[in-house]
Structure 1
């Protein structure tokens, strides 16, 4: 008997083992019935059996084009299963089938090893589909949650901003209150930047990218404006700005301002009080922006994922042990640059310091 036929004949005992295993995994606060416990297990096994019997068979999908393994991941996520529990279900299914298969009357025929090998491949494929769907669903849920938080924080932040402005401009306020209002206002502005970065992060991860509005822009004006802001907000920082050549082109001025702002802020934060150099240079067909500091170098292992906050792995590095998290700033910089059809790269070592280099085509698409 081939393994495909064996699975179909022994469907009920296999499903019963699946059900028993799932029952042990279910949440204590939400007990599931038999249909929920066996969710799509039969369809997954039937598809695997068909794949074993007919390697070139056309896979059966639902009306939305989903495989049984993908739908199973959706329902398990709703039921509160973790990805580890989802993985353990498939491991148990594999063990259950192979255990029953090993207990049958053996014939030592040539196809037994081939069937087991193809069965493992089919299980691995179903497992990969299920985990991929589960992970994507969890990511989307997290992005929605982050988006809601970002929007909901705008209202209380606006109230703080208004209160800080009142303290700074009140004729009855003394010097201490004016100073307090100034600090509150600066913090509110910083919080607004964080919220904006958070919403941009969610938007870009949803596939929409960073929206840009192209117009004629002079980067000399943009860079000088951002540097002047830092001279006020960070009076202890030494920022050396230089602009050479023609730095005019078609970009989103506000978004390029974000690039300057995040790169300069990052250089000040991690530059260990060393001077920050900001150079904007116009070349044929492009403008190059470099931001440099001579602070501690970024570890090589960290550089390859420096623009991805989900993979940066800050905890493994002493570079960030006594500093604030880099947050989403560098990620937003990369996405803004990509939206302008440009490139960004980082170079960092003990000898030359840390330099971020942005190249923007003069006429962004």
Structure 2
């Protein structure tokens, strides 16, 4: 005996409700192929259409069938002709007398390319339908004049109930998770109100949701009748997605019976191709609504959907305009302000209002501004966002726009610091400087009034082991915590628009800043060289001139040392200017003995700082094709860094050697490792960090220029920490030949 299948929600989602193999009992279904051969027919066709004769299954339609009724024969002939033209419209439904009864005859094309003709018994007289058509016209005229979504839904449920006579008509609006709220209701006084209740997404399985979009009006006239099977020439079931008489899923029948509903009708509200809402009509005894009246209700539903879509589009346009104005204003302020953070902080209230947030955090290059949240929590938030490996729980609307609304998406410590804020919309405008604008929403403690417990029971149903519909629809309350209102698609679009404008403005400001700084550095470097040379010469004179108190030589030495330091800084500034302007560092490559070059520089350092010990390990000779002056700058910088930042009591170790694939220079000094957070910026210009406390007069250009010069030689400069030593290694290519 095969094992029973596992019972999951997928059982319901896989039910083939579009091919039930049966129809409701108040009509007949016939299906013809393009040659007029009857391929399928409901088992009640002969009885309901008597005394007319019908073609047998597998037989072609002939002129004597259906009592030779000319109107019906013409409708069938036109429909078959249209079947051969997939782009042509099927004839409209017609009211026809077939045999002794009045039917609404509805032709349409099936997914398999068959002509489906449905004969639905008409329960009302023409006079009654005329009265209803006037009511429908008045209802549509009323809807055209309403300008709010809530007002439209409230008016529509009232008008549809007056037209159809259902005991209850509800207007659903679906949420982001496809659960639905009853936002409008018209009912008889005796019924319990369902207004304000929510129903879970599982009440409408995925395939049913698809059919609601394809077939926007659906009538279930009597849940107690037995479906009529459709007989066919082949075992393949007919796709009845567009059929008005399609039989109802046994699961849905049980669902309605559990609610005490005997008849129902649904009208889909489709907005932008998606099931936005639903008008659900319930009656507690069987109820047949004529086809013509249902089509009037369908038109009302389409008018409602059109008005909803128009109002939503208007709201979207208004918010997009607001976002555009704000984006332009932020861009202008970013370009004009001294720093980006100040410009963005000034717009924090406007950002909160546009995106319905409660707080804003703005951060860049380790600095931050917070609006509506304390600084410590804001700092922890930015640290979390900067580590992409810990933010995988957030969704990406685009690469640099992350969002989430559940507190569980955050680490526990951060969650506690931010509480009650838990909704996150993060915009990264500068990856290099870790620039973020983060909007936060507070937790929305919500008591949901469910229409019955929103969890279906996994118990055997009438068709065996499968999901059984909920048996209770009593009010069931649930309190939801730790979640904010989710960010809507419109809000994510607005955030993306704001980010695009901010990125452009920030990039433009950064480019202008770099240009001005480069020009300023070049100007300063050029204009300061002449007076500095004069100061140096005067220092030499003062150092050699006699002085009664002996201080002339000391003052001269101090001036010369200071002017020398200034000269080195100016040289660095000029080199930086060349690199940033794109002209690059000019190299005069010549065969050079690296051992002699390094030995001379070490000797100069020992002379200037006799207390520092330098251990030098090198072969007798090591030739390279380099610019000696530029490489001397690299070695001098590494020696200077080792002297400034290393343990003064420990020697500096310099090793120069010929490796198997390259020439290597290794400078090591005993020290604490460089802060890991600072390592990625180690070779950036103008950096500021705690490990520069002993060299406050520097510009932070040394390592940057040393790296640029090394790369100009086709080599690399790298940092490592090994056995208590800070190690910088220069790797140069071997000379050719």
TM-score (norm 2): 0.36
2:316·2:490 contact (CA, 8 Å) conserved in 1?
no
Counterpart in 2 of 1:199?
574
The aligned counterpart of 2:705 is: 332
Give the counterpart of 2:654 among 278, 290, 305: 278
Kindly state the Cα deviation for residue 284 of structure 1 after the two structures are TM-superposed. Answer: 4.4
Give the secondary structure class of the aligned counterpart of 1:153. Answer: helix
User: 2:395 matched to 1:138?
Assistant: no
How has the CA–CA distance of structure 1 residues 84 and 265 changed in structure 2, closer, same or farther, with 3 Å as cutoff?
closer
Q: Could you tell me how far apart the structure 2 residues matched to 1:344 and 1:269 are?
A: 19
Match 2:498 to one of 123, 129, 134: 123
Q: Displacement of 1:211 after TM fit?
A: 2.6
Task: Give me the whole-angstrom Cα distance separating, in 1, the residues matched to 2:725 and 2:562.
Answer: 29
User: 5 Å matches for 1:157-176?
Assistant: 157-170=532-545, 175-176=550-551
Determine whether 1:228 maps to 2:627: no
Greater shift, 298-307 or 127-136, is seen at: 298-307
Q: Say whether residues 1:354 and 2:726 are aligned partners.
A: yes
TM-score, length-scaled by structure 1: 0.67
> What SS does structure 1 have at the residue aligned with 2:678?
helix
Q: What's 1:243 paired with?
A: 618
Matched length: 295
Match of 1:66 in 2: none
Preserved CA contact (<8 Å) 1:214 1:250 = yes
After superposition, the C-alpha distances for 1:205-251 in whole angstroms (9 at most, x for unaligned) are 33343332222211122112211211222222212223226521211
CA distance in 1, matches of 2:346, 2:312: 20
Partner in structure 1 of residue 340 of structure 2: 83
Q: 8 Å contact 2:335–2:508 — kept in the other structure?
A: no
Once residues 556 and 688 of structure 2 are traced to their aligned partners in structure 1, the CA distance between those partners, rounded to angstroms, is 37
Mean Cα deviation higher: 215-224 or 77-86: 77-86
> Does the 8 A contact of 2:335 with 2:509 survive in 1?
no
Are 2:624 and 2:734, in contact at CA under 8 Å, matched by a contact in 1? yes
User: Which of the pair is proportionally richer in helix?
Assistant: 1
* 3-state DSSP of counterpart to 1:244: coil
Partners of 1:164 and 1:181 within 8 A in 2: yes
| Mean CA deviation greater in 191-200 or 240-249 | 240-249
In structure 2, how many angstroms separate the alpha carbons of the residues matched to 1:203 and 1:96?
Answer: 46
Unaligned runs of 5+ in 1: 22-39, 42-68, 100-112
Q: 1:244 to 1:79 in 2, by over 3 A?
A: same
Greater Cα shift, 125-134 or 139-148: 139-148
Q: CA RMSD in A?
A: 3.6
- Where 1:194 maps in the other structure, the secondary structure is helix
Judged with a 3 Å threshold, the aligned counterparts in structure 2 of structure 1 residues 240 and 173 are, in CA distance, closer, same or farther, namely: farther
- Structure 1 residues 227 and 81: CA distance shift in structure 2, 3 A: closer
Q: Distance between the aligned counterparts of 1:246 and 1:209, measured in 2?
A: 30
Q: CA 1:88–1:355 in structure 2 vs 1: closer, same or farther (change >3 Å)? A: closer
Contact 1:167/1:173 (<8 A) preserved:
no
Rounded Cα–Cα distance in structure 2 between residues aligned with 1:218 and 1:97: 67
Aligned to 2:565: 190
Contact (CA 8 Å) 2:645, 2:694: kept in 1 or not? no
Check the 8 A contact 1:3/1:116 in 2, yes or no.
no
| Higher-RCO chain (CA-CA 8 Å, sequence separation at least 6) | 1
> How far apart are residue 87 of structure 1 and its match?
3.6
CA-CA distance at 1:340 after TM superposition: 1.0
Contact 1:197-1:332 within 8 A present in 2 as well: yes
Query: Whole-Å Cα distance in 2 between the matches of residues 270 and 158 of structure 1?
Result: 30
Given the superposition, is the C-alpha separation of residues 92 and 240 from structure 1 closer, same or farther in structure 2, using an over 3 Å criterion? same
Q: Gaps spanning 5+ residues in structure 2: where?
A: 1-309, 357-487
In the TM superposition, 1:1-365 aligns within 5 A as 1=310, 18=325, 41=328, 73=331, 79-80=336-337, 82-84=339-341, 86-87=343-344, 114-170=489-545, 175-244=550-619, 246-273=621-648, 274-284=650-660, 286-310=662-686, 312-314=687-689, 317=690, 319-321=691-693, 324=696, 327-348=700-721, 351-363=723-735
Q: 1:243 to 1:2 in 2, by over 3 A?
A: farther
3-state SS of the aligned residue for 2:618?
Answer: strand
Query: Deviations 1:108-150 (Å, cap 9, x if unpaired)?
Result: xxxxx54443343233222222222222222332333333333
Over 3 Å counting, the alpha-carbon distance change for 1:171 and 1:227 in structure 2 is same
Decide whether aligned partners of structure 1 residues 176 and 129 sit closer, same or farther in structure 2, where only a CA change above 3 A counts.
same
After superposition, the C-alpha distances for 1:41-97 in whole angstroms (9 at most, x for unaligned) are 4xxxxxxxxxxxxxxxxxxxxxxxxxxx9xx95x65775564246546887776787
Residues 206 and 237 of structure 1, relative CA distance in 2, 3 Å threshold: same
80-89 vs 185-194, which moves further = 80-89
Shift of 1:330: 1.4
Q: Which has the higher strand share?
A: 2
Structure ID, larger Rg: 2
Structure 1 residue 153 displacement after superposition: 2.5
Deviation at 1:355, TM superposition (A): 1.5
Does the C-alpha gap of structure 1 residues 250 and 174 become closer, same or farther in structure 2, counting only changes over 3 Å? farther
- Aligned counterpart, 1:63: none
Q: 1:250 to 1:170 in 2, by over 3 A?
A: same
Question: What residue number does 2:250 align with?
Answer: none
